[in-house]
Structure 1
Amino acid sequence: MTNKLEQLKTMTTVVADTGDIDAIAQWRPQDATTNPSLLLKAAASDAYRPMLDKAVADARRHGGSDAEQLTVATDTLAVLAGREILNLIPGVVSTEVDARLSFDTAGTLERARRLVDLYDKQGVDTSRVLIKIAATWEGIRAAEQLEKEGIRCNLTLLFSFIQAAACAQAGAFLISPFVGRILDWHLANSGRDSYPAAEDPGVLSVSRIYNYFKANDYNTVVMGASFRNTGEIEMLAGCDRLTISPALLQELQDDTAPLTRKLSAEGVSSPDKLGTVNERVFRWESNEDAMATEKLADGIRRFTADQIELEQRVRQLAKAA
C-alpha cells in the first residue's frame, strides 16, 4: 500500500514548510513557504552563504543609510532564497513582508511591491510568487490592493473565523490558518493535556473556514499550517493545501495505513451566515476571541524577533566582508 504522504497528495496540494534548500530538494513539494523564522534557521547553513554574500553586495551597490542597506540586504536574501526554491519546485513560493509592518498598510504595500520588483530583476516569473502578509485589518487592506494590481497574497498568522472571512471578502488568493498554535493556546488555557485529533481546536477552526468558503463560493485557497502532529494533518486531508514541516512529511511517508479524505467541496454546507466584514465588525469579533488576539500578537512578536536576529547576522557579515 502507498504511504500516507502519497495518499495525501491525491487529495491535497502538499507544501513544504521550510526554507531549507536541501530539505526542499529532498521532498520536492508542489509549493514552498518561508517566514523570518525559517529563513533564520536556513541562513546558518552553507547553502545560504553565497546568497548572504550576494545580498550584502547588492545592498552596498544600492547605497543609502546603513538601515536602508540592511533592509535591502534582508529583502534580497529572501528573494534569492525564493529563487533557489523555485528552481526545485513546480509551483509557487511565499515570501513574507517584515512583520514590523503588520499594522501599516502603506508600508506593507511599499515592501510588497519592492519584493516583487526584486524577483523580477532576478528573472523570476512573478506569478510564481505569493507575498505573505499578517492577517491584521491593515494587512488585509494591503492585500486587497495588491490583488487588484495582480500581486497574489498569502495571508498568514490567521487564527480566527473573522480573519478568514475578511480575507475572502478582500479577494485574497490564499490564507494560511494556523492549527498547532491554536492547539497550544487551548492546552495552556483549558486545563487539558491533550485533544483527540477529531476534537483538536485548530483542526475544527480550519474545517469551519474551509466549509464556509466552499459553501459560499469563495475562491480564496485554504492552506492549513503550523502542525504539531500528523493526526492534525490527517483530519484535514482534502483541504486545498497543507504546508507541512520536513519532520512530519517523514512521518507521513513512513506510515502505510489507509488515509481517509475528511474535507471536500462536493455537497458542502456551512451554518455560518455573515454579512460584510467592515473594520468595526472585524475589530469587535477579534477582541471577543482571546485566543486569536493573543496568538496573533505573539506571532507578530516572534517573527519580528527573528527578523531582527536575521538582520544582526547580515550586519555582522557586512562588517566582516
Structure 2
Amino acid sequence: MASLLEQLRGMTTVVSDTGDINSIHQYRPQDSTTNPSLIAAAAAMPQYQSIVDDVLKQARESSGPKASDKEVAAAAFKSLAVAFGLKILEIIPGRVSTEVDARLSYDTEKSIATARDIIAQYEKAGISRNRILIKLASTWEGIRAAEILEKEGIHCNMTLLFGLHQAVAAAEAGVTLISPFVGRILDWYKKDTGKDYHGADDPGVQSVTKIYNYYKHFGYKTVVMGASFRNTGEIIELAGCDLLTIAPKLLGELQSTEGTLERMLDAEKAKSMNIDKIPMDKATFDKMHAADRMASDKLKEGIEGFSKALEDLEVSLVKRLSEIGEPATAR
C-alpha cells in the first residue's frame, strides 16, 4: 500500500517548510518555503556555515572599507535568504518562497522596494521571477504591496494569514498564493479555551477549509497553501488543498505511514455550496480584524516573532564577521 505522503502528492502539491537543504534533498518536494525563523536556524547549522561566510564576504566587499561590522551584517542579512533560496532551487523543480523583512509589514512602499530587490538578486543569479514567491505579511499594507507587485509579474505568497478577511482581501488583490497558518490558529484556541482539538474539530483545519471553499465557490485564481502544522492529523483533514507546506518531521511521519487517504477538500463540491460573498475594503478589513481576537493576536505575535528572529540573525552575523577575520575599519 502507498504511504500517506505518496497519496497526498496525488491530490495536493507538497511543499517543504524548511531552510534545511539536506531535508529538501531527502523528501524532494515540488516547492519549498522558508521564513526568518527557519533561515536563522539554518544559518546556525555548521553544515551551512560556508553559505553564510560567502554572503558575509560579498557584503563586506560591496559595503566598502569604511562600513562597520553591523552595517556589513545588515547588508548580508538581506542576501542570506536569497543565498539559501538559490541552493534550494538547485534541488526542487518548482518555486521557492523568500520573505520580505517582517519589520516592514505595515510599510507598503518599503515592502515593494525590498521585494523588487529580492527579485533582482535572483534574476542576477539567472533565476526567473516565475520560480520565486515573495512572502509578505497579510496586513492591509502587505496586501496592497502584493497587488502592485503582481502587476509587475512578481508573484506573492501572503503569510501570517489567520482570518477570512485577510484571505478575501488577498484574493481580491489578485495575489498568487496565500499561506493560512493552521497550527498557530490551533495554538491560540487551545490556550484561550483550555480545550484540545482533533481532526475536523481543529479550528485551524476549519479556517483553511472555509477559505478554500470560499475561493473555489467564487472562482478566484489565488491558491491556498495550508501551513504551520502541529500534527499529521491536520494534514490528513486538508488533503486535496491546492498546496500544503510541511516540516521535514511531519513529512517523515507521512512517508512512514500506510493507510487510505481520503480527499477532504474538493473544488467541484465547493462550487455548489451556499456561501455569501464579502465585499472587501479597508474599513471592512479593519472591522473584521478587530472583531477576530485570534487573527489580531496571532498577526501581531507573528510579526514580532519574525522580527525578533531577524534581529537575532543580524547579531549572529556580526559575531561571525569577527570570527572570520578581516575586520571592517569602522566599528
- Fold similarity call, TM over 0.5: yes
Change (3 A) 1:74 1:304: same
Question: What is the CA distance between 1:242 and its match in structure 2?
Answer: 0.2
Q: Distance in 1 between matches of 2:205 and 2:85?
A: 29
Question: What is the CA distance between 1:125 and its match in structure 2?
Answer: 2.0
Q: Distance in 1 between matches of 2:253 and 2:297?
A: 30
Q: Deviations over 1:109-135 (max 9, x none)?
A: 111111111111222222101000000
Aligned to 2:254: 252
Q: Distance in 2 between matches of 1:36 and 1:307?
A: 6
**What TM-score results when the alignment is normalised by the length of structure 2?**
0.94
Q: Distance in 1 between matches of 2:274 and 2:62?
A: 53
Residue type of the partner of 2:132? V
Deviates more, 1:30-39 or 1:272-281: 272-281
Aligned: 1:169 with 2:188 = no
Q: Distance in 1 between matches of 2:75 and 2:208?
A: 35
Superposition misfits of 4+ residues, deviation over 6 angstroms: none
**What TM-score results when the alignment is normalised by the length of structure 1?**
0.97
**Do 1:40 and 1:306's aligned partners in 2 also have CA atoms closer than 8 Å?**
yes
Aligned to 2:86: 83
Q: May I ask how many residue pairs the two structures share in their alignment? A: 320
Aligned: 1:41 with 2:51 = no
**Do 1:21 and 1:47's aligned partners in 2 also have CA atoms closer than 8 Å?**
no
**Do 1:144 and 1:172's aligned partners in 2 also have CA atoms closer than 8 Å?**
yes
Of 291, 301, 304, which aligns to 1:301?
Answer: 304
Aligned to 2:217: 215
Aligned to 2:329: none
What is the Cα-based RMSD across aligned positions, in Å?
1.2
Q: Gaps spanning 5+ residues in structure 1: where?
A: none
1:1-321 aligned at under 5 Å gives the runs: 1-63=1-63, 65-66=67-68, 68-192=71-195, 194-268=196-270, 269-320=272-323, 321=325
Q: Distance in 2 between matches of 1:35 and 1:106?
A: 21
**Do 1:37 and 1:306's aligned partners in 2 also have CA atoms closer than 8 Å?**
yes
Identity of aligned residues (%): 52
Deviates more, 1:52-61 or 1:136-145: 52-61
**Do 2:150 and 2:174's aligned partners in 1 also have CA atoms closer than 8 Å?**
yes
Q: Distance in 1 between matches of 2:45 and 2:25?
A: 14
Q: Deviations over 1:181-226 (max 9, x none)?
A: 101111011131x112111000000000000000100000100000
Question: What is the CA distance between 1:285 and its match in structure 2?
Answer: 0.4
Aligned to 2:328: none
Residue type of the partner of 2:233? G
**Do 1:4 and 1:257's aligned partners in 2 also have CA atoms closer than 8 Å?**
yes
Q: Gaps spanning 5+ residues in structure 2: where?
A: 326-331
Question: What is the CA distance between 1:61 and its match in structure 2?
Answer: 2.3
Deviates more, 1:263-272 or 1:240-249: 263-272
